[in-house]
Amino acid sequence: MYRVLIVDDELEIRQGLRLKADWAELGLTVAGEAGNGSEAMEWLERHTAQIVITDMNMPIMNGVSFLETCSSRYPDIRLIVITGYEDFNYARAAVRHQARDYLLKPVSSSELTEVLMKVVQELDQARTTVDKQSVLEWRLSEYYKEMKEHCILQLVKEGLVYEQTMLERSRRFDLEPWQEIPVRFITAGLLERDHEPEQERSAHKLRLPFELLCRELAATAVDWGDVHVFRDANYPGLMHYIIQEAAGAAEGFSNLLRACIVNNLGLVPTIAYSEVRTGFGEWKEGYMSALLAWNLSHSDQRHETNMLTEDTARQLRRHLAHGELEPFRRVVVKELETVYSQSRPGFVKLVLQLYLLLDHAAYGKGLEMGSGSQLWLRPERVWEFNTPAKAEQFIGELAEKIIRHGREDKEEPDSSAIREAKRFIDENYMYDLTLTMLAERYRYHPTYFSEMFKAQAGTSFIHYVTDIRMKHAMRLLEGTELGLGDIAELTGFSNASYFSSKFKKRYGLSPSEYRNSRQ
């Protein structure tokens, strides 16, 4: 209900006004009364009101002075003036100070009700506008955060393989300065156990509130500067942060996060962070380092030196790329047996490092591993590999899956290139994309690539890109009140006019007509 203040120096008139309208029926309540303008200003300092009904001829502070002061201090309050025929100058003052209406004494019930209904309608419209703007800002903010998180995830998974595209993205999401900032990666999660009891506060059931708390902390922990938070679907249940390096920053933020989770969920999270990394080119390594540290944080394994050397990792990646399964397995067996004879914790760390290597190789090929939860939320399972043979079997099966996927691609190299091109378009539709750029990316002549794309995708390159952009544009038309210019920019169209013409040509409706029909 909207709150009303009645201002008049005569008690009988104030009481009469109370009786001349069905306030509740109008969605109003008389929240207070005042005998003059001075009392009314004092009341407004302590209370809120959306409507003020005031007489003009009052002692101490008359109506003119009150209107001037009230409209200056509280411009959103709707003012209704009551005056007599002999005081027409007051009516002019009311208009000058933006009163919504004025009534001549004696005020009838119908006149008062009519004026109040008009003011209530204005307030309703204003509230609707504010609500819509709030929803718009929230939805746009969520859409922006979603796209920004996707950009961060690509940086930590792919690094700067596609440098120009990634740098362009970083500029769009205000990440470019982070190219020069030393950072640490923080990984947090609730450990799950194989035989965890089915209780209300189990780690698995608290994944969603855990994620929401992690995101909220990133947005509110202003003492730590900008903190980026993201989630990687390959590792369900884990949340990741990127924080600027400063003395004790990673440890301090981790302690804050731990206290937040314990206080709200009653479970102690496992948290670990990487060494300092600088530049987007090192973000991938930093992210992998935090993941590994998280899995090793529950034991003294983290004190072991690096088990998988860069030379060995490079050799294994080369065998995977060339589809050489047996040489890959021989190298893995040798490494596992050597480390196993030296250190059991080091052996476990090597298994995790090998798994990470395979996981990133699969991601680069667009292959779902489907086994992330076996190690990343139940790290005690790694200890089940109590012999090099058991560990090699697990690692070898994953490698075989990746190599088999690669061989299928080699049997149909054109199909593989088009699958990759479509995935690239799906993830980069908001940027400037050309056929020539993608042809060069996959090492084809533009003409041949165009024919190949149409044959494999069933539609031309231009139509495919437009389809993807239109799908996201329709989502924004349905879910936000964004203008056409903003939607065009967010979905990769050059301008609002071009977007509108393409939309109407395709769907037979203008974007505005489509939005109205969906509403």
At 407 the pLDDT is: 67
Q: What are the pLDDT digits (tens) for 93-140?
A: 555 555 667 777 788 899 899 989 999 998 888 887 776 666 566 556
At 159 the pLDDT is: 65
The confidence band for 214, taking pLDDT boundaries of 50, 70 and 90, is: very high
Q: What are the pLDDT digits (tens) for 405-463?
A: 766 655 455 677 888 888 888 878 887 788 888 888 778 888 888 988 998 888 999 99
Q: What are the pLDDT digits (tens) for 128-164?
A: 777 666 656 655 667 778 888 888 888 888 765 556 6
pTM for this model (two decimals) = 0.54
Which of 81, 76, 116 has its CA nearest to residue 95? 81
For residue 213, is pLDDT > 90? yes
418 or 89, which is more confident: 418
240, 232 Cβ separation under 8 angstroms: yes
Which of 84, 122, 118, 82 has its CA nearest to residue 102? 82
At 5 the pLDDT is: 94
Range in 74-88, 306-320, 500-514 the model is least confident about: 74-88
248, 254 Cβ separation under 8 angstroms: no
For residues 309-314, give the mean pLDDT: 86
DSSP 8-state secondary structure symbol assigned to residue 180: G
CA angle, corner 322, sides to 153 and 451, nearest 5?
Answer: 70
For residues 287-315, give the mean pLDDT: 75
At 373 the pLDDT is: 45
Which of 79, 77, 78 has its CA nearest to residue 90? 79
In angstroms, the first-to-last Cα distance of the chain is 27
For residue 276, is pLDDT > 80? yes
139 or 498, which is more confident: 498
Report the share of the chain in percent with pLDDT over 90: 22
Average pLDDT, the chain: 82
The confidence band for 188, taking pLDDT boundaries of 50, 70 and 90, is: very high
For residue 369, is pLDDT > 80? no
DSSP 8-state secondary structure symbol assigned to residue 236: T
Classify 414-518 by CATH class: mainly alpha
CA angle, corner 100, sides to 97 and 103, nearest 5?
Answer: 100
Residues in a beta bridge with 55: 82
Encoded tokens for 295: 């899995």
Which residue type does 499 have?
Answer: F
How many CA atoms lie less than 13 Å away from 82 in the CB half-sphere?
22
436, 453 Cβ separation under 8 angstroms: no
Rank 215-219, 235-239, 359-363, 402-406 by mean pLDDT and report only the highest: 215-219
At 307 the pLDDT is: 73
Range in 98-112, 158-172, 503-517 the model is least confident about: 158-172
Of 3.40.50.720, 3.30.70.1380, 3.30.70.270, 3.30.310.50, which CATH number belongs to 146-292?
Answer: 3.30.70.270
Using CA atoms, how far residue 145 sits from 71, 155, 188, 231, 264, in Å, is 39, 15, 20, 12, 24
DSSP 8-state secondary structure symbol assigned to residue 182: E
At 243 the pLDDT is: 94
Please enumerate, as own/partner, the contacts of 339-345 that have beta carbons within 8 Å and a separation of 24 or more: 339/307, 340/387, 340/388, 343/304, 345/296, 345/299, 345/300, 345/301, 345/303, 345/304
At 261 the pLDDT is: 93
Q: How many CB atoms lie within 10 A of CB 420?
A: 17
For residue 376, is pLDDT > 60? no
Q: Which fold has domain 2-107?
A: Rossmann fold (3.40.50)
484, 476 Cβ separation under 8 angstroms: no
At 455 the pLDDT is: 87
At 230 the pLDDT is: 93
